[in-house]
A and B are shown apart, each in its own frame.
Chain A
Amino acid sequence: QVEQVKLLDRFSTSNKSLTGTLYLTATHLLFIDSSQRETWILHHHIAAVEKLPLTTSGCPLVIQCKNFRIVHFVVPRERDCHDIYNSLLQLSRTAKYEELYAFSYNPKQNESEQVKGWQLIDLAEEYKRMGVPNDYWQLSDANRDYKICETYPRELYVPRTASKPIIVGSSKFRSKGRFPVLSYYHKNKEAAICRCSQPLSGFSARCLEDEHMLQAISKANPSNRYMYVMDTRPKLNAMANRAAGKGYENEDNYSNIRFQFVGIENIHVMRSSLQKLLEVSGTRGLSVNDFLSGLENSGWLRHIKAVLDAAVFLAKAIAVESASVLVHCSDGWDRTSQVCSLGALLLDSYYRTIKGFMVLIEKDWISFGHKFSDRCCQLDGDPKEISPVFTQFLESVWNLTEQFPQAFEYNEAFLLQIHEHVHSCQFGNFLGNCQKEREELKLKEKTYSLWPFLLAEQKKYQNPLYNPDFSPELTLLEPNTVSFNFKFWRNMYHQFDRSMHPRQSMFNLIMNTSEQNKQLEEDIKELEAKIKQLNGQSDVILVKEQEQPAHPVPVALKSPACFQKEQPPMPVNDAVRTIEGSNTADNRYSELVSEFSKAEPAVVSLEYGVARMTC
C-alpha cells in the first residue's frame, strides 16, 4: 500500500492528475482515488512495467496492459516506486500454470455447476449441427490418445475414404503432424473447410498418403470435382520454407487441386505491426497526418484486410463454387485458425449468435491448438512467440459488425470482453497451448469456464439491432473489402482512454431503450392483467362505471375527482421513469459529467499566447 500516488491522464498536456492510494493484492493492482473511484488492474494483464527518470513530483511508473490500458502513476518516494516495480515484475511474470489466477479464482459455484459450465459448449454436438458424420465424413479415432498429433483434439472428422494408414502417412508428411481434417461442413453445398499444416515437401518430396488424403477430401464433395488448397502465407515465405524441408503442395502431384497463396504475414510481422500501431496511437498531441501515416506504416489495417480478404475468398469458394477448401499456413494454428473461423462466420449465421461465436472459438481456436499461452504470454516465456493473432480475428469480426449492423446477435462489448479474458487467465478456457496440455492441467476440475459467465450476463452483450432473419441460414455474408471500409478500432485500442470517445453513446442509448422496451412490455402485460382482474372481480355496476369515461358528460362531472385520483399514479409513473432515467444516466450523463471534468480544455496560457486543447 502506497499513499499519495498520482494517476496521470495519458493524453493530457496539463499534468492534471488524480491522487489516491495504490494497493497491491495477490492478484490485482488497485488504485483508489480521493473520490473513491477504483481502478483494478489484473497482474496477468500487465505486459510491461517501466520506471521513468525521477521528477520533482516523484517517481513515474508506467504500466502497459495487454488490454491496451496504459496507466501512468507518480509515486512520491523512489523507494516505494522501486518496491512496487519489483513486485509487479514478479507478479506479472508467472512461471507455472498452477500459479495463474484461474487456479485460485473462486466464483462460488458448486462442483456440479462447474461441470455443467464446462459442458456448455459441446463440439460433438456442433459437428452434428453441421451435418457430420454423414455419408462422406466420419469421426476418426486415430488421434484418440494424441498419438498422431499432440496439438490436435482427440476427436477429428475425416473423409470416410481416408483409412488409418492414409491418416498416419499424411500426418508424417505434415509439419507437427497436423494432417488435413474437417473444420467446417456446409451441408447445403456439401463442401467442407479443412485445415492442416504445411507439407514437408521441400523441393521435390512427395507423399502418396497425403495425396490420397487430399483426394479423399475432394471426393467427399459430390458437387464439385476440384478443391482449393489455400496457403495463407505470402508466396515468398512459403518458398523459403522449402529450403527447410517444408513448403507447399505441388499442383502436379495432387489431382484436381487449385492452389492459391493469399499472403497473410507471419506472427513476427503482426507483433511488430501492433507495436507500431500502439506507438502511434499512444503519442501525445498527435496530428492527423502523423496518425494516418503511422497507421499506414504500421500496416495493421493492411493485415486485417488481408485476413478478411482470405476469409472472403474461402467463403466464396464454398458458397459460389461449392468447392471444398483446404487451408494451411506453416503450422496451421495461427493464420489457418483466422481464415477458417472467419470463413465459417461468413457462411453460417449460427456463428453470428452469442452461443455460436463461443462454439466457433472453442472449435477453431481452442480445440485446434491455437497457442494461446504462447501468443498471449500467459507464462513468462519467449517474447518472440507473442503475437496478436486472436486480436486480429476479433478485429475482423468487429469490422463485419460495422458493415452488417443487424447480422450479429452480439455487440462490440462481447468482443472486447472475450479479448479481456483471453489475457486475464481468470478462466480455464484459454490456458495452455493445446487440448492435451489442458487435460494434463486438469483445467476442467481446477478452473472454471468463461462461457457460462458470459451467458449469464448476455444482456450486456446483445446487439439491440440484431435481426435473426437478417440472413437465412447458410447464406453468405459478403462484406465489402475496399480499403476505406477498414477503420481504426478506437474502442479496442483506446478502450480506457475515455476522453477519446463520443461523450454520448448512441449505442448505449439504443441498448438501454431496447432493454427498457422489454421492461415496458412486461409492465403493460402486468397492468392489463390487473385491469382484467379488477374488471372480473367487480360486479356489473362497476363495469358500467368503467365505461362511463367514454361519455363526455360523466367525465366532465367526475373530472375533479378524477383529477385527484390521478395524482397517486403519477408519482409512481415518475418513479419508474427516474429509475429508468437513472439507468440512462449511468451510461450517458454521469459519463458526460465525468468527461467534462476530465476533458476541459486546458486554460489558455497567457504566457505563450497559445491555447492548448487537451481534448
Chain B
Amino acid sequence: MEFAELIKTPRADKAVLHRPFHLAVEGTLCLTGHHLIFSSRQRDNAEELWLLHSNIDSIEKRFVGSLGTIVIKCKDLRIIQLDIPGMEECLNIASSIEALSTLDSVTLMYPFFYRPMFEVLEDGWSSFLLEQEFELLSSVSDEWRLSCVNKEFSVCPSSPPVVIVPKSVDDDALRKVALFRHGGRFPVLSYYHKKNGMAMLRSSQPLTGTNGRRCKEDEKLINATLRSGRRGFVIDTRPLSVAQQARARGGGFEQEVHYPQWRRIHKYIERFHILQESFIKLVEACNDQSHNMDRWLSKLEASNWLTHVKELLTAACLAAQCIDREGASVLVHGGEGTDSTLQVTSLAQIILDPRCRTIRGFEALVVREWLQAGHPFQQRCAQSAYSNSKQKWESPVFLLFLECVWQIHRQFPCSFEFSEQFLILLFEHAYASQFGTFLGNNENERAKLKLPQKTMSLWSWVNRPEELGRFENPLYEANSLVIWPSVAPQSLQLWEGVFLRWNRPSKFLEEAEAERINIIRYNKELQAKVSVLRRELAEMEAEQEVQE
C-alpha cells in the first residue's frame, strides 16, 4: 500500500494552529505517510510541530462557513486545534489523518520506516538479555537455572524463549506445569531478594477447574523456592469471588489441600475496561477548566484513578513486605498473568531493589517484567483516553504502573537516578513511537515481525550520553535501603506531569526546576574547586616546610 493514496491533500497553507497557553500561529500544514507537520515562518520564531500519526487518538472536524476546524486529540493527552481554510482541503486532510492514524498493519507503522539520524553506540535490542540477569543471579545463588524449554514459543506463546526456574525442576516437568497454567504461563522467577534469598515468582492462574485438578509438578516447582519449614505467600490479584468464578471456566486458584505450605492472599487490582474508563474519566475531569471546586473534586473521585493507584501500591507493598519482612517467597498471579501480575512484581522490585531505581536498572525492569514477560502492549496501548473505539483489551495498565513509580519517586525524590521526565518518556513511547520497542504483544510476535532487525530500539537512542542527561535526577544519591512508600490518600497526588501537562502554564514550574538543578550543579562545582584549592594550599605549605 502506498501512503500517497491516502493523502489527497498533502499540504494546506494559511492554516492556524491553536494550543492552550500559546498564541495562535499561522503556518503551513503538511501530511506525510507518518507525520503531520505544521511549520510557521513567522519572522523570527519559526517553529515546527511534528506529530506522529500514530500519536493521534481521535480527530473531530467542524465547519464555520468555508473555514474548517480540526481538533486533534493525542495519545499523550495533548489537544491541538487546526483551522484550515477551504472545506474540501479540510475534509481531505481530516480523512487522511483519520486513515493514517488507524493503520491496522503493524508493519506499516513508523518504526519500520524510521532511519535513525544518530550513531548507534549500543544496540538496545540486546542490551538487556535474561542471560546477563542470570549471570548476576548465579553469583549469589545456585538454586536456579536457565531453561530454554520455550525456545520455539511452543510451551508458552506469551513467555520469552529463555526463563529462570528452580534448578531442581527439569524441562519435562515445566512442560507439564505449562499445561496446568492458563496460557502455558508456568511460574518463573521474577525477582531474587539477595538479602535473604527469598524469591518472587509470577505465573498465570492454575487450571484447577471445578473438579479441583492438581499438578504435582506445579506444586513441586513452587515448593522448590521455599526454605524447609517456611511458608510462602500466593498473592492473587483477583478477589476471591472472581477467582472462584474462574473455576467454572477452567481456571482457578491454588487450593490449601494441595499447597499446604502456601498462604493465599487475594488483593484485588482493577483491570481492563474498568481501568480504561477510569483513565478516560480522569482525563475528562482534568481537561475541563470550568469545573468549580466541588465538581472537580467529585469528578476526580468518580474517576477512581487514585483509588487504583492506592490499591496497586498497597498490593506491591504487601508483596515486598512478605519477601523482606516476613522472609517468605511469593508467587504472584491474577488470571492471565500479563497485567496486574506484572504491575505487582515490577513495583515490588522498585521498592526492594535499589538497582531498579537506576536508569539502566529501570530499563532492564521494563524489558524483563513487561516486554519479555509478555504484557500485550499493542493491544493495551492501541488507543488512549480520547478514542471512541472502546475495545475491551485497551487498558492503561502500563501507565498505572508508571504512575505508581512516580508516586514512590515523589516520596523518595533522592533515591531514583531518573527523573519524572523519564517516566513520561516511557508513557509516550508505549503509545506512539518511532522505535520498535513497544510494538507487538510479546517476544513471540516481536520475533516474527523481526523487530530487532527491522526497527530501532528505544534504548539505543535513550542510552546515548547526550540524551541520557535529560532524564537524570540531579538529586540522586544511591540509597541501598528498601523504600516503603506511604499509601495514605493524603500522601498520594495527581500526576500533574501527565494529566495536567497541557492544561496549565508550566513556565514557572519549569524555571524553578531548572533553578534546583542549578543549585545542585553549582554545589558540585564549588566542592571540586574547594578540594583543588585545598590541595594547592597544602602543596604550597608543604613546599614551604621543605624550604625552611
Contacts and interface: CB of A to CB of B under 8 A. Distances in A.
Interface string A514-531: 101100110110011011
A122 interface: no
A552 interface: no
Contact of A604 (B326, B481, B529): B326
B414 A482 contact: no
A485 B504 contact: yes
Contact of B512 (A406, A534, A545): A406
Contacts of B504: 480, 482, 484-485
B535 A611 contact: no
Contacts of B540: 531, 534-535, 538, 542, 546
B412 A599 contact: no
B516 A286 contact: no
B413 interface: yes
B516 A604 contact: no
Given A520-B530, A606-B263, A483 B539 contact: no
Given A467-B515, A500-B491, A604-B322, A509 B414 contact: yes
A414 B364 CA distance: 43
Contact of A531 (B286, B304, B412, B537): B537
Contact of A293 (B292, B301, B318, B509): B301
Most chain B C-beta atoms within 10 Å of own C-beta, residue among A407, A546, A576, A601:
A601
B542 A565 contact: yes
B519 A510 contact: yes
B296 A527 contact: no
A288 interface: yes
Contact of A565 (B294, B486, B522, B539): B539
A487 interface: yes
Give the interface size class of chain A. 35 or more
Interface string A543-578: 001100100000000000110011011001100100
B72 interface: no
The secondary-structure label for the interface of chain A is helix
A313 interface: no
Interface string B439-481: 0000000000000000000000000000000000001000001
Interface stretch (B48-56, B63-71, B492-500): B492-500
Contacts of B489: 286-288, 290-292
Contact of A615 (B322, B413, B487, B536): B487
Nearest to A487: B493
A499 B486 contact: yes
A530 B503 CA distance: 55
B484 A504 contact: no
Given A292-B306, A527-B533, A405 B325 contact: no
Nearest to B291: A483
Given A287-B489, A484-B296, A514-B519, A524 B526 contact: yes
Contacts of A272: none
Interface in A467-506: 467, 480, 482-488, 490, 493-494, 499-506
Most chain A C-beta atoms within 10 Å of own C-beta, residue among B233, B292, B520, B538:
B538
B60 interface: no
A523 B530 contact: yes
Contacts of B527: 520
A23 interface: no
A504 B412 contact: yes
B538 A482 contact: no
Interface stretch (A152-160, A295-303, A374-382, A417-425): A295-303
Contact of A524 (B294, B483, B533): B533
A566 B300 contact: no
A610 B265 contact: yes
B301 A289 contact: yes
23 contacts: A286-B490, A288-B307, A288-B489, A292-B301, A407-B508, A467-B515, A483-B291, A484-B286, A494-B490, A499-B486, A500-B486, A501-B491, A503-B484, A504-B414, A506-B475, A517-B523, A520-B526, A527-B537, A542-B543, A542-B547, A561-B542, A569-B538, A611-B322
Given A11-B488, A291-B489, A502-B412, 14 more contacts: A301-B297, A404-B508, A405-B508, A486-B293, A503-B483, A510-B520, A517-B523, A520-B526, A535-B540, A565-B539, A576-B530, A604-B326, A609-B263, A611-B321
Interface of B: 233, 263-265, 286, 289, 291-298, 300-301, 304, 306-307, 309-310, 314, 317-318, 321-322, 325-326, 410-415, 475, 481, 483-494, 500, 503-505, 508-509, 511-512, 515-516, 519-520, 522-523, 526-527, 529-531, 533-544, 547
Interface of A: 11, 281, 286-293, 295-296, 299, 301-302, 305, 403-407, 464-465, 467, 480, 482-488, 490, 493-494, 499-506, 509-510, 513-514, 516-517, 520-521, 523-524, 527-528, 530-531, 534-535, 538, 541-542, 545-546, 549, 561-562, 565-566, 568-569, 572-573, 576, 588, 592, 596, 599-601, 603-604, 606, 609-611, 613, 615
